[in-house]
Structure 1
Amino acid sequence: VTAEVPEGSIVMFSAHGVAPTVHAEAAERRLATIDATCPLVTKVHKEAVRYAKEDYDILLIGHEGHEEVIGTSGEAPDHITLVDGPEDVADVTVRDESKVVWLSQTTLSVDETMETVDALKKKFPQLLSPPSDDICYATQNRQIAVKKLAEDAELVIVVGSKNSSNSIRMVEVALDAGAPAAHLVDFAEEIDEAWLEGVTTVGLTSGASVPDVLVDGVLEWLAQRGYGDVETVKTAEESITFSLPKELRRDLRAEAAALSAQ
């Protein structure tokens, strides 16, 4: 909440993005901002703005209260209706069935999203899809990998925060793919040794933004308990890189100029 930030301070907007009203509030309070919104989330924001200008009804597939959903909804509040799963579809109404489009939260399960899309298309046959997939590539790749892990592992451990949508989804994907057990942990210390009873193979994965040090900590914990033989499961190569927020790039350029002038 920007009102809680001391005037004149620096505030960073997270990768989930924020609504335009938050940017305006920060400017009014003279807060220095660093916008670290993920470019994939920014893409969805721009799509929402574009379709709203064209007077479409926008059906946003996502979880109520999630930071990303709040930010995207804020881009076109009068045009966006939240659809929190297939069970919500029956209650969805639109002004014109020939001008309706779906967008989605980027950190959902691909299977979960398409199940909702299929239900929406049955109700609204002219439903328009976005020009490209909104699900984060890192989220998709991890879900594909965890399905592969679930084929052989009796236990899948997902390292990630309890409020991380993509981490929670990975536990669900692992169970749906046949893993007998799957658990979400923030740190190695949260693992219950009882989970290992009768388990010969443990699958380990993490949320899209989890630091490597936390995953390494779980690997060390498992190695100390006899699970030291590690095999990497690779289902995709990730080569996409994102630049630093423009505010940081500006500061780095200024720092480099100052050093070169010395």
Structure 2
Amino acid sequence: MIQINQLSKKYKGAEVFSVKDLDLKVEKGEIYGLLGPNGAGKTTLISMLTSLLKPTSGTFTIDDLNFKEHKNELKQLIGIVPQEYALYPTLTAYENLEYFGSMYGINGGALKKSIQHHLEIMGLSKFANKKTATFSGGMKRRVNLIAGILHQPKVLFLDEPTVGVDVQSKNVIIDHLKYLNKQGTTIVYTSHHLNEAEIFCTRVAIIDNGEIIVEGVPSELINNHVAANNLEDVFLARTGNALRDYA
């Protein structure tokens, strides 16, 4: 579904590459986790794959469509759920979703039905006409997710989809993502919740300094690292214990 070849990104004025000569393949129907410390290059990589950033060099295809030649077609294939809330706080949940759905070319009865369906699944039906500024973090996360899936994307990019939410909201979000995956949606997911990634992802890549340092099925990565009991142990073994604060 996704084929990446020698993809690199160096920001203007930067001394080093944020993503460097990266090769990666994501198969159709996978839940693929991109894991790494702060500043490792995860968000930069996703931003390139979703056409939010132009690569410095390299190439990639999504569903056999080259990003240079089929940019508009690719945008119709993908859904994006960013780490920051992509919502208008003065609009209601329904109005936000109506706006984002129309941006994907959905309208009329089809859009109304899709919005109502997803609001019900996410437990938000009774809040449909409330302004999102009044919502809790978990509620905003759920609306944020709906905005990225109304058009039934083939590939869904998730950047920290459960950060800062309560356990109940996290479970609802993860369960619905698993459902979407079973329906055929390929998922690319980044998170600092390594226990969540260990259970949720079919494969993961640990990225550091813009490069993939290890890749595989979570259980196999754990078994292949001496004294590793979980994915977090593997992560620390490969990226170290040093703080990764940056400004």
Higher helix share: 1
Q: Give the structure with higher Rg (CA).
A: 1
Higher strand share: 2
TM-score (norm 2): 0.28
Structure of greater relative contact order (alpha carbons < 8 Å, 6+ residues apart): 2
